[in-house]
Amino acid sequence: MPAFLLYLVHTLFPPDTRQPTELGADFMILVTGIGIVYILTRYKKWRWLWREWLTTVDHKRIAILYLIAAIAMLFRGGVDALMLRTNLALPNVQPIGALEYNEVFTTHGTIMIFFMAMPFIFALFNAVIPLQIGSRDVAFPRLNAMSYWLFAFGAMLFNISFVVGGSPNAGWTGYPPLTELAFNPGPGESYYFLSLLIAGIGTTITGINFLVTIIRMRAPGMTLMRMPMFAWSTLVTSALIIFAFPPLTVALALSLLDRTFGSSFFTLGHGGMPMMYVNLFWLFGHPEVYIVILPAFGIFSEVVPTFSKKRLFGYTTMVISLVSIMFLAYGTWVHHFFTMGAGPTVNAFFGLSTMLIAIPTGVKIFNWIFTMWGGRIRITVAMLYQMAFIPTFVVGGATGIMLSVVPADYQLHNSYWVVAHFHNVLIGGTVFGLLSGLYYWWPKMFGFILNERQGKVGFWLFVIGFWVTFLPQYLLGLEGMTRRMYTYPFGFGWHELNVISTLGAFTMGAGFIALVYNILWSLRYGERDLTGDPWNGRTLEWALPSPAPEYNFARIPVVHGVDEFWAMKEQGMTLANQLRPQDVKALELPKNTGMPFMLGLSFFVGGFGMVFEWWPIAIFGGLGVVACLIYAAFDYDDKEPLPADVIRHTEGTFGRLQA
Amino acid sequence: MSTPAVSERHQSIPVEFADEEESIKITGFWMFLMTDMIIFASLFAVYAVYRSRTALGPTPQQLFHLGPTVLETLLLLTSSFTVGIAVWAMRHNRLRMVFGWLIATLVLGAGFVITEISDFVSYMSQGATWHVSGFLSGFYVLVGTHGAHVTFGIMWAITLLLQLRRRGLTAVTRRKLFTFSLYWHFLDIVWVFIFTFVYLSGKIA
């Protein structure tokens, strides 16, 4: 027995994970875990947690679950970033060593892309899309819950690697041969492949779900060209997900087969070819950057008209540019590895296709500016993020164009220039967009408004911090500092810029704290949104109370044009006392189910077993997956009636029912 | 759903699309097939790149036996026909016929899987495991992924038979049978590509 325990401790907590930071993290997790269990037990909330949240299939609740996960992951990824910046602040000063530095930049990148940006985007999709297109739910509510739990357990599997067994350490892209078993024996990379595979299934399902929702479930009269622009960007993003995630699945699965079952895809011997992985990965990876940026474009296209009190300029060109970005996104993946040596013809093609993307993106930038032109602009936090986005994204885009010039790329490849460029577009584009959307739709999700004053403090901290962090990194790149180096010597002229960059990173951290403080403060003291339309909005989601009742629309609206809700208000239709009692019909709502949670849990158990190659556990998890699927196949009891009286009562309390 | 508009639609389109909610699920299934198609496309691309990377192992020409693969082709193509008849019977409300042809599909599919496994076993007994070369890795994973899909389809068909026995032909079971047939035809098309692109052209090269 002691020998068995010794083996267990040695496998789960190998010596290189027994670092002060990791033991600290272990302790924090233990304390937080015990705290949560204590609170749930003390206030008898277990049943509430299971029935209201863990089994929910309501898209509005799933949105909140996604958002909580995304903010938690933003914290984890942000702490990683601060550890990296601390290590680089001064030459030859290394609070964390080289090996741990590798782990931290790997988890920083992976978490920020897959477990922060993606769920944040899905939170907004879930919160907004059915309301915006006048639908009662998404097309497949149970699959929606399944997506969430696959994502959540995938994220959990990835995050426990830090304390159990050791983190992945081959970068967020996980290139072979560095991820091959011969060069990277610990469980870290297996964690990476398995958790991304599990979360990736969830993401693919989300793509299918929202594509079908938008194609099939729009309110009568809402033609494609009358859809709100956020719905358009969701449609295009979903299509990108459907075509981009399968190559990632293949790349990850083949790597896993190499590691765990001894195949020879990306090995150096036996006819393997590591560059094949790189191609497959970026066949996903390049569309992925549009998967995370297009929703932000959609958010800005909602925020700008609302706060400029003007119709969106150039609706049709906005749609055309979205769709052309979608197609171009698949033709640029080689620009991530011009230095592979594919030859001048191939490189020229991919350089040109990359430059082409600047055209539709430029069209969108001009359209937002022209929407603001002559409008009655209100400077809210959502609008501020949009206004910061335009110059920031233009700089990020321009440096991207510089990288698409192949000879220049040979110089800049793998330097801090690249690091600065993609943070410039990912933070300046995606994160600014998501924060703008968060402030904009927060009242719709939660029924109260985030404090604007505190929001502005957070905004300035975050935006100034952003520029202070990444502007020096462009210069560092030009001075030859390469990506992923864990320390550097004196005398290269890098240390002043690095100190500045680190200060900026901590300023961004302060911006994050301001955001969390704002959320907690507003939860208690924030202004309640009683009208459902706090911003004088233009699209259908603002026609509903905040938060929307679980059936969304008591009566599905008929749409006559773009900005339907604005047109309604122009015609003097107030929503109070509009609905006639006899128009309310009984509905069927999807019924809550524990299956998606159990499915996620089974994947988690199976994945954990595979990471350590403990086959009984892996098989047990696999059987759990099969059992969940069989249960789902035979479960016909998936609907719950909602009587008309209940709807009338709810609408009555919102003051929307005729007396 | 019994509004006049729907029953009019009912006349002109196949019965499995008559119910709005089930018809949305069919759209969703098409989208799923699209993702699966990209999975196979990626695996085909991988195979195309690795085909010549045989290292010290056998080349496609030395390895493949055409006999078993021709048999597999016949079995799977026939099963695509039988599942088509099962759908035809479903549209004409002939439950017993649906059972019969679905079971025939299942048996043919099982025959396909067994032939494929025995083929793989014979390759591996000659020492041609996927560890040996990039070509063999690409081959086993591409063809094996297809075989795993067929195996999953067989299990799906079994659960479908049980549901049909319990519930008969309802809007839900009709849609499930129809999506199963889409899945099965899809696998058949993929097999046509595997047979041509992997086995036949492997024999020629």
Q: Do B38 and A630 touch (CB under 8 A)?
A: no
A216, A243, A255, A270, best to mutate vs chain B, most B CBs in 10 Å? A270
Which among B35, B135, B141 has CB closest to A257? B141
Report the chain B residue with the minimal C-alpha distance to residue A208. B31
ipTM (interface predicted TM): 0.94
Number of residue pairs across A and B with CB atoms under 8 Å? 111
Q: What is the predicted pLDDT for the residue at B1?
A: 39
Q: Do B28 and A272 touch (CB under 8 A)?
A: no
Which among B24, B140, B163 has CB closest to A139? B24
Q: Is the pLDDT of residue B67 over 90?
A: yes
Q: Is the pLDDT of residue B7 over 60?
A: no
Q: What is the predicted pLDDT for the residue at A590?
A: 93
Can you give the length of chain B in residues?
A: 205
Q: Do B134 and A249 touch (CB under 8 A)?
A: no
DSSP string, A594-649: SHHHHHHHHHHHHHHHHHTT-HHHHHHHHHHHHHHHHHHHH----EEEE-HHHHHH
- A585 burial via Cβ count (<10 Å: 0-12, 13-18, 19+): exposed
Q: What is the predicted pLDDT for the residue at A576?
A: 67
Question: How many Å apart are CA A218 and CA A480, to the nearest integer?
Answer: 53
Q: What is the dihedral angle through the alpha carbons of A91, A96, A99, A101, rounded to the nearest 10 degrees?
A: -70
Residues of A in contact with B146 (CB under 8 A): none
Residues of B in contact with A254 (CB under 8 A): 46, 137, 141
Q: Do B35 and A204 touch (CB under 8 A)?
A: yes
CATH class of A45-593+638-653: mainly alpha
Instruction: Name which of A167, A205, A119 is nearest A22 in CA terms.
Output: A167
Q: What is the predicted pLDDT for the residue at A25?
A: 76
Report the chain B residue with the minimal C-alpha distance to residue A263. B131
Phi, psi of A639 (to 5 degrees): -130, 155
DSSP string, A30-87: HHHHHHHHHHHHHTT-HHHIIIIIIT---HHHHHHHHHHHHHHHHHHHHHHHHHHHHH
- Other C-beta atoms closer than 10 Å to the C-beta of B57 total 22
- Give B10's pLDDT tier (boundaries 50, 70, 90): low
Q: Kindly report the average pLDDT of chain B as a whole number.
A: 92
A180, A211, A212, best to mutate vs chain B, most B CBs in 10 Å? A212
Q: What is the predicted pLDDT for the residue at B3?
A: 45
Question: How many Å apart are CA B34 and CA B39, to the nearest integer?
Answer: 9
Q: Do A63 and A126 touch, CB atoms closer than 8 A?
A: yes
DSSP string, A229-269: HHHHHHHHHHHHHHHHHHHHHHHHHHHHHHHHH---SS-SS
Q: Do A276 and A263 touch, CB atoms closer than 8 A?
A: no
Q: Which residues of A make CB contacts under 8 Å with B?
A: 139-140, 143, 204, 207-209, 211-212, 215-217, 242-243, 245-247, 249-251, 254, 257, 261-265, 269-273, 276, 280, 283, 630, 633-634, 636
Phi, psi of A415 (to 5 degrees): -105, 175
Question: How many Å apart are CA A61 and CA A72, to the nearest integer?
Answer: 17
- DSSP secondary structure code for residue A482 in this structure: B
Q: Do A211 and B31 touch (CB under 8 A)?
A: yes
Domains of chain B, CATH where assigned: 29-204 (1.20.120.80)
In the predicted model, residues of chain A with pLDDT beneath 50 are none
- DSSP secondary structure code for residue A294 in this structure: H
Question: How many Å apart are CA A426 and CA A440, to the nearest integer?
Answer: 20
Q: pLDDT above 70 covers what percent of chain B?
A: 94
Q: Do A562 and A226 touch, CB atoms closer than 8 A?
A: yes
Which among B134, B156, B162 has CB closest to A264? B134
Question: How many Å apart are CA A52 and CA A221, to the nearest integer?
Answer: 34
